């Protein structure tokens, strides 16, 4: 897809796969707020092939999440191919996504994620094996722009992946060495858009509708992928959608709306945990830390949420906070 054709069509909005964040509950909430395409938390090929219960929970999804893909990581072409076939048989995703971008050391040390950006022959074998194994199910991939500032090879990597049958490519505009520091380099993302014909999805520092629209227009990307910004403020999908449609600015999210959303998230999380509150609320704690950033009295509020173990207590905290800050409601 060239830049000229990409900018003539509104981009698809993707929720980035994030470990410990994008379970089925959070994905569905983002879908309701305007996300178009969802992907599961990443799972290892070995976890899939052992079919353990924890892995099953990572990749399960509901019909209303479609289109949804399952993201795999690993470095063994044959095992990844087996895992892709197993996932397709197991849950029937709309696509398989390959993770060539994770910068976390425990993944990289196992030759997964962004480590393959240093080994393009192996990356090529992985892509070819999974594409062959997946049959009619599309295979997509996510990369970073390179390992470090001296080895920015995103255009080369993109051409290799396109040549092996990858049908869509998400590019995070940082190197592995940057992690999540510094700024995403959208000039490199633009170069990737120009280098290949498959759709390219831009990712990195998209934390407002204004910035998202500017990056889309500048890069010609076919889609925008939102990650960390959605963790704190999932309404960003609604805001970008309204901006794309040329309408009025999205309404400011008031305190009451935010707390109603948080409580609803907790209710859905408990249902996902088969009605057992304790593990559900424990899994919610990191989400609560993100949701409450920027709220008045945030430090004290987060302290009260750190040991939360019941929905009733969450509702009590929510009502107390709204009552104490009526000017923000």
Model pLDDT, residue 300: 85
pLDDT tens-place string over residues 191-240: 999 999 999 999 999 999 999 999 999 999 999 999 999 999 999 999 99
Tokens of 42: 């990443």
| Residue 152 to residue 45: CA distance in whole angstroms | 27
> What does the block give as tokens for 26?
């959070």
What are the sequence ranges of the domains in the chain? 3-244, 255-328
Which pLDDT score, from 0 to 100, does residue 244 have?
87
Q: In degrees to the nearest 10, what's the CA dihedral of 264, 63, 213, 142?
A: 110
Q: CA 97 → CA 10, 155, 212, distances in Å?
A: 22, 19, 23
Q: What is the pTM of this model?
A: 0.92
Return the structure tokens found at 268: 């859905």
pLDDT the model gives residue 93 = 97
- Do residues 127 and 99 lie in contact, with contact meaning Cβ atoms separated by under 8 Å? no
Q: What is the pLDDT of residue 329?
A: 57
| Alpha helices, DSSP H, located in the chain | 3-6, 24-32, 45-50, 53-59, 77-91, 105-108, 120-134, 154-163, 186-195, 209-219, 228-232, 236-244, 255-272, 277-291, 298-305, 311-324
Ranges of residues in the chain with a pLDDT under 50 are: 1-8
- CATH homologous superfamily of 3-244: Aldolase class I (3.20.20.70)
Which of 30, 102, 120, 328 is an active site residue? 102
Categorise residue 20: left if φ over 0, alpha if ψ from -120 to 50, beta otherwise: left
Q: What is the pLDDT of residues 193-203, one digit of tens each?
A: 999 999 999 99
d(CA 308, CA 303): 10
Q: For residue 107, what are the contacts with CB-CB under 8 A and spacing of at least 6? A: 73, 99, 113, 115
Helix 255-272 vs helix 311-324: crossing angle, to nearest 10: 180
The two structure tokens encoding residue 76: 């063994």
List beta partners, residue 152: 146
pLDDT for res 106: 84
Q: Given this model, what pLDDT does residue 248 score?
A: 66
Largest pairwise CA distance in the chain: 60
For the question of residue 102 being annotated catalytic, the response is: yes
């Amino acid at each position: 897809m060239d830049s000229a054709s990409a900018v003539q069509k509104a981009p698809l909005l993707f929720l980035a796969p994030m470990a410990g964040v994008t379970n089925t509950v959070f994905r569905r909430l983002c879908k309701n707020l305007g996300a178009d395409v969802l992907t599961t938390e990443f799972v290892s090929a070995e976890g899939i092939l052992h079919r353990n219960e924890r892995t099953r929970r990572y990749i399960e999804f509901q019909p209303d999440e479609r289109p949804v893909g399952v993201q795999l990581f690993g470095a063994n072409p044959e095992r990844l191919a087996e895992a892709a076939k197993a996932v397709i048989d197991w849950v029937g995703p709309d696509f398989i996504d390959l993770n060539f971008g994770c910068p976390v050391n425990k993944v990289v040390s196992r030759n997964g994620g962004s480590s393959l950006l240093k080994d393009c022959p192996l990356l090529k074998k992985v892509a070819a094996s999974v594409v062959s194994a997946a049959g009619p199910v599309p295979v997509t991939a996510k990369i970073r722009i390179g390992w470090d500032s001296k080895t920015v090879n995103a255009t080369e990597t993109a051409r290799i992946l396109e040549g092996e049958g990858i049908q869509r490519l998400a590019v995070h505009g940082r190197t592995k060495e940057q992690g999540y520091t510094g700024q995403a380099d959208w000039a490199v993302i633009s170069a990737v858009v120009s280098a290949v014909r498959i759709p390219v999805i831009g990712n990195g520092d998209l934390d407002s509708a204004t910035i998202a629209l500017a990056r889309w227009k500048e890069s010609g990307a076919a889609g925008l992928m939102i990650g960390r910004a959605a963790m704190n403020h999932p309404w960003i999908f609604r805001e970008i959608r309204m901006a794309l449609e040329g309408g009025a600015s999205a309404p400011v999210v008031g305190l009451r709306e935010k707390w109603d959303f948080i409580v609803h998230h907790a209710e859905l999380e408990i249902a996902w945990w088969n009605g057992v509150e304790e593990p559900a609320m424990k899994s919610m704690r990191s989400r609560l830390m993100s949701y409450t950033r920027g709220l008045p009295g945030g430090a004290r509020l987060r302290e009260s949420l750190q040991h939360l173990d019941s929905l009733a207590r969450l509702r009590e905290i929510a009502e107390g906070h709204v009552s104490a800050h009526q000017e923000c409601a």
